[in-house]
Amino acid sequence: MQRALTGIKPTGDVHLGNYLGMIRPALALQEKYEAYYFIADYHALTSVFDREKLRAHTLETAATWMALGLDPERTILFRQSSIPEVCELAWILTCQVSMGQLERMGAYKQARDRGGDINAGIFNYPSLMAADILLYDSHVVPVGADQKQHVELCRDMAIKVNHRFGEGTLVVPEVSIQPDVATIVGLDGQKMSKSYNNVIPLWLPPKKLRKLVMKIVTDSKGVDEVKDPDTCNVYSLYKLFATPEQTAALRERYLVPGMGYGHAKEELFQVVNATLEEPRERYHEWMAHPERLEEVLAEGARRARSAADVVLERVRDRVGLI
Ligand code: ADP
Ligand code: TRP
């Protein structure tokens, strides 16, 4: 069976962009692939400098996966740091990538342009991300559009390793990005991201969720004006939660006078809330039982390790470390 792998950093509240762009598509792959989904706690160390926060976000992220339907019988859920050998592979890969390639990464350039202190972890993180993927012989990597460049660099590293040390040393993975959810917009119409402070967290109580939905930015057209659904942030989210019939009905309302944006936002709140209601209950149940989450993570780590051992032994042998 081919393998799917993805990771998410435990750096803050999981939000609708994470859910629509990555988690939902990744969960859909569970049946066709042997899936390895992990909580990227080593990656979080580049920006989280508080042990309680890191621990809390790690458990919240695990509970999120479980609440949204990860099947632990089938899918391997684990903490990245349970398999510290990933750092060994990251080092080997760091020696196969040029400074210039790392300097061209958008995420690094953005950090540089924001100014201030940039730790070397931020600069080197594509090597660790490549190690995450390659350590498990992953075939497909479901992510949002912002991660495309990193998966492409990972492919380049794998190809280089195979060229230098022999074909078959590493599996060259494919990126998987769903075009309709590649970049989910946030409250302000930019990409929804923890770093832009424009997110709608997944697990808000309904009242707060409604309040945030009401804050989504629209143009200033009044009730009596015809509106363009295709450029509207509210409609773009609505169609990702609603049925095709609901979507067609709301579209009609945009195209004739008489609907205010408040109405569209109320409709959006209703469909988002309906989708998240049951998972929200499951989320809180998991959060009330961290020991159960730890059990799932421990079993995941055990299975991840047996896959990682095979690959690392092969790589060590090929590069001359044994
Ligand atoms: P953030 O940008 O909020 O820090 P992460 O870097 O933790 O989010 O992203 C985890 C996963 O969610 C990645 O696969 C990423 O591509 C995806 N993702 C994050 N934000 C969005 C978005 N706005 N639209 C689509 N996918 C997203
Ligand atoms: N870099 C990803 C992000 O910021 C998270 C991540 C770490 C990841 N390792 C990965 C995603 C491996 C896919 C595969 O969202």
Q: Is the CB of 264 under 6 A from ligand 2?
A: no
Q: Can you tell me which atom of ligand 2 is nearest the CA of 128?
A: 9
pTM: 0.97
Q: Which ligand is nearest to the CA of 194?
A: 1
Q: Is the CB of 40 under 6 A from ligand 2?
A: yes
Q: Which residues does 168 contact at the CB level (< 8 Å), separation at least 6? A: 162
Q: Is the CB of 90 under 6 A from ligand 2?
A: no
Q: Which ligand is nearest to the CA of 61?
A: 1
| Atom 13 of ligand 2, residue of closest alpha carbon | 6
Q: Is the CB of 133 under 6 A from ligand 2?
A: yes
Q: Which residue has the tokens 């295709």?
A: 230
Q: Which amino acid is at 244?
A: P
pLDDT in tens, the chain (322 residues): 999 999 999 999 999 999 999 999 999 999 999 999 999 999 999 999 999 999 999 999 999 999 999 999 999 999 999 999 999 999 999 999 999 999 999 999 999 998 888 999 999 999 999 999 999 999 999 999 999 999 999 999 999 999 999 999 999 999 999 999 999 999 999 999 998 999 999 999 999 999 999 999 999 999 999 999 999 999 999 999 999 999 999 999 999 999 999 999 999 999 999 999 999 999 999 999 999 999 999 999 999 999 999 999 999 999 999 7
Both structure tokens of 34: 């042997």
Domain assignments of the chain as residue spans, ordered by start: 3-184+290-319, 203-283
Q: 203-283 — its CATH code?
A: 1.10.240.10
Q: 3-184+290-319 — its CATH code?
A: 3.40.50.620
Q: Which residue has the tokens 């458990």?
A: 59
Q: Is the CB of 141 under 6 A from ligand 2?
A: yes
List strands edge to edge, sheet with 76-79. 76-79, 34-39, 3-8, 140-142, 174-176
